Chains A and B, each alone.
Chain A
Amino acid sequence: MTKLADAIIIGGGIHGCSTALHLCLAGMKPVLIEKDYAGRHASGVNAGGVRQLARHVAEIPLSIRSMGIWERIEALVDDSCGFESHGQVLVAENAAEFDACRARVAELNALGFTHEELIDGPELRRLVPAVAETCPGGVVSRRDGAAEPARTTTAIRRKAEALGATVVEGVAATNIRKQDGLWQVDVGADSYAAPVLVNAAGAWAGRIAADLGEPVPVETVAPMLMITSRVPHFIDPVVILRGRKLSFKQFANGTVLIGGGHLATPDQDRNETVLDWRSLAISARTVFELFPVMRSATIVRAWAGIEARTKDELPVFGPSARHAGLYHQFGFSLHGFQLGPGAGAVMTELIASGGTQTRIGDLGIERFHSSTP
Chain B
Amino acid sequence: MNTTARRESYDVVVIGAGPAGLAAATTAAEAGLSTLLLDENAGPGGQVWRAIASTPVTERDHLGADYWAGAKLVEAVRSSGAEIIHRATVWSLDRNLEIGVSLGGASFFVKARRVILATGALERPFPIPGWTLPGVMTAGAAQTMLKSSGLVPDGSTVIAGQGPLLWLLAAQILRLGGRIDRILDTTERRNYFAALPHAFAFMTSPYFAKGFALMRQVRAKVPVVSGVTELAAAGDGELATVTYLSGGRRETVPAELLLLHQGVVPNVNLAMATGIEHRWDDLQLCWSPVLDRDGNTSVEGIAIAGDGAGIGGAEAAIVRGRIAARAAVEALAPTAAARLAPMATFRGALVKAERGRIFLDTLFRPAPQFRIPSGDTIVCRCEEVSAKDILDAVAIGATGPNQLKAYRRTGMGPCQGRLCGLTVTELMAQARGKTPQEIGYYRLRAPVKPITLAELAAVPKTDADVNAVVRG
Contacts and interface: CB of A to CB of B under 8 A. Distances in A.
Judged by CB atoms under 8 Å, the answer to whether A and B touch is yes
Interface of A: 37, 39-40, 44, 148, 150-151, 153-154, 158, 228-229, 253, 270, 272, 274-282, 284-285, 287-288, 294-303
26 contacts: A150-B405, A229-B413, A229-B414, A229-B450, A253-B409, A274-B94, A275-B92, A277-B446, A278-B461, A278-B463, A278-B465, A279-B462, A282-B465, A284-B453, A284-B457, A287-B453, A288-B453, A288-B454, A288-B457, A295-B453, A295-B457, A296-B453, A298-B451, A301-B412, A301-B416, A303-B445
Q: How large is the interface on B (under 10, 10 to 19, 20 to 34, 35 or more residues)?
A: 35 or more
A148 B100 contact: no
A37 B287 CA distance: 22
Given A158-B397, A277-B100, 20 more contacts: A148-B406, A150-B406, A151-B407, A229-B414, A275-B445, A277-B109, A277-B446, A277-B456, A281-B457, A281-B459, A281-B460, A281-B462, A284-B453, A284-B456, A295-B454, A296-B452, A296-B453, A298-B453, A299-B447, A302-B446
Contacts of A276: 462
Nearest to A291: B453
Contacts of B275: 270, 272
Contacts of B463: 278
A187 to B, nearest CB: 18
Interface of B: 92, 94-96, 100, 109, 275, 396-397, 399-400, 402-403, 405-407, 409, 412-414, 416, 445-447, 450-454, 456-463, 465
B445 A151 contact: no
Given A229-B414, A302-B446, A297 B453 contact: yes
Chain A CB within 10 Å, residue with most, of B275, B412, B454:
B454
A294 B399 CA distance: 35
A300 B447 contact: yes
Chain A CB within 10 Å, residue with most, of B447, B460, B461:
B447
Contacts of B446: 275, 277, 301-302
A87 to B, nearest CB: 24
Given A272-B275, A288-B453, A277 B92 contact: yes
Contacts of A153: 406
B413 A154 contact: no
B416 to A, nearest CB: 7
Contacts of A40: 402
Contact of B94 (A275, A285, A301): A275
B403 A154 contact: yes
Nearest to B415: A300
A297 B416 contact: no
Contacts of B406: 39, 44, 148, 150-151, 153-154
Given A150-B405, A229-B414, A294 B453 contact: yes
Nearest to A303: B445
A255 to B, nearest CB: 8
A298 B449 CA distance: 10
Contacts of B456: 277, 280-281, 284, 299
Chain B CB within 10 Å, residue with most, of A148, A285, A296, A301:
A301
Nearest to B396: A158
Nearest to A264: B94
A276 B402 CA distance: 23
Given A282-B462, A302-B446, A274 B96 contact: yes
A280 B452 CA distance: 12
Contacts of B461: 278, 281-282
B94 A297 contact: no
B448 to A, nearest CB: 9
Nearest to A289: B457
A177 to B, nearest CB: 30
A104 B437 CA distance: 53
A180 to B, nearest CB: 35
A274 B299 CA distance: 13
A228 B459 CA distance: 17
B383 to A, nearest CB: 9
Given A158-B396, A277-B92, A277-B100, A299 B459 contact: no
B399 to A, nearest CB: 7
Nearest to A295: B454
A277 B108 CA distance: 11
A296 B455 CA distance: 9
B272 to A, nearest CB: 12
Contacts of A303: 445
A303 B451 CA distance: 15
A280 B450 CA distance: 14
Given A148-B406, A277-B459, A278-B459, A298 B452 contact: yes
Contacts of A280: 456
B298 to A, nearest CB: 10
Chain A CB within 10 Å, residue with most, of B406, B447, B454, B460:
B406
B397 A278 contact: no
A300 B416 contact: yes
A274 B95 contact: yes
Contacts of B457: 281, 284-285, 287-288, 295
Contacts of B95: 274
A300 B405 contact: no
Contacts of B414: 229, 298, 300
A37 B439 CA distance: 13
Contacts of B450: 229, 298-300
B6 to A, nearest CB: 21
A299 B445 contact: no
Contacts of A295: 452-454, 457
A83 B399 CA distance: 23
Contacts of A39: 403, 406
Contacts of A301: 412, 416, 445-447
Nearest to B400: A37
A301 B443 CA distance: 11
Contacts of A297: 452-453
Contacts of A37: 399-400, 403
B453 A154 contact: no
A299 B451 contact: yes
B452 A299 contact: yes
Contact of B413 (A44, A274, A285, A300): A300
A107 B406 CA distance: 39
